[in-house]
Amino acid sequence: MARKTRRLRCRRRRAAALKLLPCLLILLIAPCGVSYAAEQSADVKVANRYLEAAKKGDVKAEFYMGALYSAGVGVPLSDAEGFRWFLRAAEHGNSEARIIVGASYAIGRGVTRNYVEAYKWTFVAAATGDLQETRTGGRQLLDVLTARMSDKDIAEARQKGQSILDQSGQSARSTAAPPPAVAPAPTAAPQPTVAPQPAQSQTHSDQPQVAAKENPPPSDYERLTSDIARDPNNVEPYAKRGSLLTQQGQYALADQDLSKAIELDPNNAEARNNRCWTRIMLDLADVAVADCNKALDARPDYVDALDSRGLANLKLGHFDRAVTDFNAALRLKPKLASSLYGRGIAHNRLGDKTEGGADIASALAIDPKIKDRFDQYGIH
């Protein structure tokens, strides 16, 4: 949960508001007097646990270390170290890490910009990604890179990418039924800052599709990419492109853009909230909580961040904290179906079937599809 200011937390103490330590802390319901130093110490301990696993070759832990260094949670904030761990996970076959490495090379985050390397890793991610969203996001980034690269460089990058596939014995996954190019944002997600776009038709094959040199009018993604190229220090296009990618379900790419937006503006509540959501979807709920905390530090009554943090706490099994989050969201927006449904699940897990059933029934009356969305999140 987001840390409120001490004044606000203590004022609400009698109302049983629960204070969470930042991300990666597994169990704690703390009073107002717990020091920030203790919170940092807990983050460091858990980060060290991930580090030990990563050093032993745990690929998921390598990916986590990249996320931790990118966010500065439990370890010093370092784009270079974040990139190093993402690259290690990419070399060991993690498809989300591969697309992050491609995006990092494309924008020069944590590493010198290199379009050939960007194309290489994106090509591999688009060809072999475990998730359709990863493959779709890879193709979109390939389109942008193609417009910026010479035919010679593209050929070199494709050859290098194919070499990785050959050496690892991987083959391109089927893409027979990809989702729409842009999907509406889930009800339980943060409210995006960019409106969902109409679905677009796609060409399907077993290899990543590359845009022709002569393209139709630029998409929102391409326009935002051009804005970033013109002014790499402007937070707005990073935040908007990250929000757009979040809507599309391209969470690994969205995380990169939102991280850059947060680097440029650490108090950007919308970017913090959207990155919280992307990290929940990347199975990094413990890391996501820190972003929800920061979003609520900036905007204590930010409904979407309360809702997102409630979902993160459900994923983590912190049901008391989830109830507190959803209660806060529902005080501000009483008919928010995602918070009602999430609170219902939390009540059920805590053994209060009456309250849980009533919340779930109310949520379904507002949004009959809310159960399907939570099923997609792996929360039942």
Q: Are 190 and 277 in contact (CB under 8 A)?
A: yes
The whole-number pLDDT of residue 45 equals 80
**Residues comprising the chain, all counted:** 380
Structure tokens at 163: 């070499």
The answer to whether 170 and 126 are in contact (CB under 8 A) is no
CA 163-169-171 angle, 5° bins: 85
| DSSP character at residue 30 | B
Residue 212 CA to residue 163 CA, distance in Å, equals: 23
Secondary structure (DSSP) of 101-161: HHHHHHHTSSS---HHHHHHHHHHHHHH-SSHHHHHHHHHHHHHHHHHS-HHHHHHHHHHH
Adjacent-strand bridge partners of 19: 30
Cα separation, 132 vs 173, in Å, equals: 9
Which pTM does this prediction carry? 0.59
d(CA 154, CA 359): 54
| pLDDT in the model for residue 251 | 83
Q: Kindly give the confidence (pLDDT) of every residue in the chain, 380 residues in length, as a single tens digit, with 9 standing for 90 and above.
A: 444 333 334 333 333 322 322 332 222 223 333 344 545 666 788 788 889 998 998 998 899 888 888 878 788 888 899 999 999 999 999 888 898 899 889 888 889 999 999 999 999 888 887 777 777 778 888 888 888 889 899 999 999 989 888 886 654 443 333 333 333 333 333 434 333 333 333 333 344 444 444 444 567 888 888 888 889 889 999 999 999 888 888 888 888 889 889 989 999 999 999 999 988 988 888 888 989 999 999 999 999 999 999 999 999 999 999 999 999 999 999 999 999 999 999 999 999 999 999 999 999 999 999 999 898 888 87
- What pLDDT shows up at residue 39? 52
Contact 245, 261 (CB under 8 A): no
Question: What letter represents residue 332's amino acid?
Answer: L
- The residues near 280 (Cβ < 8 Å, ≥ 6 apart) are 288, 308, 311, 312, 315, 377
Q: What is the pLDDT of residue 338?
A: 95
